[in-house]
């Protein structure tokens, strides 16, 4: 088959809504993340990942190295960013197919939400893994999509879910929320209980196969490489009994859900975003009530039971990672699933609006027209506010780099001008920046406070950060001592020194160059 014929066949199968989804995702993604795509700005972790094979098997991410290898193991923001957006574009196609969204405007809104949600700003701060992570998102969506295809689609869906978790376990909740939504739609169908149960069980089977296959592959690869799971984020406790207990974990799960929704400033970055989310929520409620009245759901006790159970399951599914490890630091990179709430709301409203009616009452037409406008306007405002948040984060990330560059130029010069310095002299330094000597100039904290990697004033948190910044961005090589080599932090010579940039913040003692950057109670350079 010639390439042009294959292209025509793919385009036909994707359909109009699929083409619109991909193009909308791609171009909105380019416009939103343009500044990050054209920058080469590392965050603190990126300083050590300018070249990295991303072998993260000890963190359970056994497929991440392969996924990131498509763009090479170099940190290439433009190429990695384009690949990530392409993966999201394909995920967008699958979403509109899965959710049966037909009208182009709703497709564009869904695509816009998917490619602008502020979690992606955090991903761009950790750009060296972004393409692999976004492939994980694509595979999570694909797992649910395949489950509904054919008699044994759940098997292929389970395989896709296993590889998604192999990229990043944090995207499991995306599949879980989509499965919950599809299960609720199945329950609303006019079909036998047996037929409904068979359909819903396929999603359960897919999840069991996916999680089981992921764990088996992980254990096999750990044995082959002779490694064990790291204690980072409590990943080594995976599949073991939850030490906190089920009640404590549930409390933590619901508390985390409420806290992020209200306090994170991600969903409600400003007054416009708050109003838009409120209007979209009311539109969803209106569409649900309209559908419930039409289908006579309100007369059935099961409706109230199902709604109550769903409301209880949503926080659990959203924060499912807490059931894997209660010690996890649940940062924004791990909360991309929150974009599903807006997407599912728009999809449901769209389906209600575009349902064929047996009659054409003026009141129904007017209600649907109002619903269409409130959804469109509120969703547009939400997407625009996401774009603002992303670019505020990128602006601060740029400023962090500029301030760090200027700081390190000054520090390198001071080190080299210290009496007794010679190339290769052992250097001991605490790896943070002293806030008492430098002004706090980050004015974006109210917006970026929860956007991991993009908040704060500096890129430097450890001695290794300094070393990598000096080497890769200044072309300077220093011989920093590791904490395992020696610890001078509480020795009198070090305690009495002022912190940089004050005079005396660098000096040679017994053949070692001490550099003091801050006064604190932290020990070692980590």
Q: What is the pLDDT of residue 284?
A: 96
What's the pLDDT score for residue 295? 85
Output DSSP code: residue 354. Answer: T
CB–CB of 182/95 below 8 Å?
no
For the ranges 235-239, 326-330, 370-374, the one whose mean pLDDT is highest: 370-374
pLDDT in tens, 280-315: 999 999 999 999 988 888 888 888 999 999 999 999
pLDDT digits (tens, 9 = 90+) for 18-55: 999 999 999 999 999 999 999 888 887 888 888 888 88
Q: What are phi and psi for residue 417, nearest 5 degrees?
A: -90, 0
pLDDT tier, 9 (very low <50, low <70, confident <90, very high otherwise): confident
Q: What is the pLDDT of residues 262-286, one digit of tens each?
A: 888 899 889 999 999 999 999 999 9
Helix (H, G, I), strand (E, B) or coil at 489: coil
Distance (Å, whole) CA 239 – CA 11: 42
Cβ neighbours for 462, distance < 8 A, ≥ 6 positions apart: 44, 431, 432, 525, 526
Does residue 526 carry a pLDDT above 50? no
Considering the chain, what is the average pLDDT of its residues? Answer: 87
Confidence bin at 59 (pLDDT 50/70/90): confident
Q: How far apart are CA 46 and CA 36, in angstroms?
A: 14
Number of neighbours of residue 86 by Cβ within 10 angstroms: 18
Q: Which of 31-45, 412-426, 483-497 has the lowest mean pLDDT?
A: 483-497
Confidence class of residue 3 from pLDDT cuts 50, 70 and 90? confident
* pLDDT reported for residue 36: 92
Cα 102 off chain centre by: 27
Q: Report, as an integer, the average pLDDT of 487-509.
A: 82
Residue 439's pLDDT band (cuts 50, 70, 90): confident
Cα distance between residue 113 and residue 383, in whole Å: 6
Q: Does residue 498 contact residue 507 with C-beta atoms inside 8 Å?
A: no
CB 419 within 8 A of CB 508: yes
pTM over 0.85: yes
- Kindly calculate the radius of gyration of the chain based on its CA atoms and give it in whole angstroms: 26
Sort 50 into a burial class: Cβ within 10 Å, 0-12 / 13-18 / 19+.
Answer: middle
Residue pointed to by tokens 């520090």: 411
User: What is the reported pLDDT for 328?
Assistant: 73
* 63-84 pLDDT tens trace: 999 999 999 989 899 999 999 9
- The predicted structure's pLDDT at residue 107: 96
């Amino acid at each position: 088959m010639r390439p042009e014929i294959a292209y025509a066949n793919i385009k036909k199968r994707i359909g109009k809504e699929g083409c619109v989804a991909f193009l909308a995702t791609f171009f909105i993604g380019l416009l939103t993340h343009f500044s990050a795509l054209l920058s080469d700005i590392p965050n603190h972790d990126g300083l050590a990942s300018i070249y990295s094979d991303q072998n993260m098997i000890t963190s359970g991410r056994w497929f991440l190295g392969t996924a990131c290898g498509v763009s090479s193991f170099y940190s290439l923001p433009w190429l990695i960013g384009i690949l990530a957006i392409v993966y999201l574009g394909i995920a967008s196609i699958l979403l509109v197919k899965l959710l049966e969204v037909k009208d182009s405007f709703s497709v564009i809104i869904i695509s816009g939400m998917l490619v602008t949600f502020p979690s992606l700003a955090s991903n761009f701060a950790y750009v060296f893994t972004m393409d692999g992570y976004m492939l994980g998102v694509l595979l999570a969506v694909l797992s649910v999509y395949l489950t509904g295809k054919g008699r044994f689609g759940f098997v292929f869906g389970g395989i896709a879910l296993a590889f998604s978790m192999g990229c990043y376990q944090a995207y499991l909740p995306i599949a879980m929320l989509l499965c919950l939504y599809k299960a609720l739609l199945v329950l609303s169908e006019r079909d036998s209980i047996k037929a409904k149960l068979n359909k819903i069980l396929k999603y359960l089977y897919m999840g069991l196969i996916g999680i089981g296959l992921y764990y088996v592959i992980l254990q096999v690869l750990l044995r082959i490489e002779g490694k064990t799971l790291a204690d980072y984020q409590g990943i080594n406790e995976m599949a073991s009994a939850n030490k906190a207990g089920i009640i404590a974990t549930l409390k933590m799960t619901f508390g985390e859900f409420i806290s992020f929704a209200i306090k994170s400033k991600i969903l409600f970055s400003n007054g416009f975003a708050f109003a838009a989310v409120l209007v979209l929520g009311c539109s969803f409620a209106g569409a649900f009530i309209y559908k419930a009245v039409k289908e006579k759901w309100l007369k059935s006790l099961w409706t109230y039971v199902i709604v109550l159970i769903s409301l209880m399951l949503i926080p659990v599914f959203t924060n499912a990672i807490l059931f894997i490890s209660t010690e996890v630091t649940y940062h924004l990179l791990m909360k991309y699933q929150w974009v599903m709430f807006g997407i599912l709301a728009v999809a449901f409203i769209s389906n209600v609006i575009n349902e064929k009616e047996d009659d054409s009452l003026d009141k129904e037409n007017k209600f649907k027209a109002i619903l269409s406008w409130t959804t469109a306007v509120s969703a547009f405002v939400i997407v625009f506010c996401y774009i603002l948040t992303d670019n505020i984060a990128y602006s601060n990330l740029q400023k962090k780099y500029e301030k760090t560059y200027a700081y390190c130029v000054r520090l390198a010069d001071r080190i080299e001008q210290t009496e007794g310095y010679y190339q290769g002299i052992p250097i001991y330094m605490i790896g943070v920046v002293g806030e008492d000597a430098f002004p706090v100039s980050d004015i974006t904290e109210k917006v970026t406070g929860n956007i991991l990697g993009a908040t704060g004033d500096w890129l430097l948190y450890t001695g290794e950060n300094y070393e990598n910044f000096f080497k890769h961005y200044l072309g300077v090589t220093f011989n920093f001592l590791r904490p395992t080599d020696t610890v001078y932090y509480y020795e009198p010579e070090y305690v009495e020194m002022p912190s940089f940039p004050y005079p005396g913040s660098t000096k040679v003692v017994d053949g070692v160059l001490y550099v003091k950057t801050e006064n604190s109670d932290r020990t070692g350079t980590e």
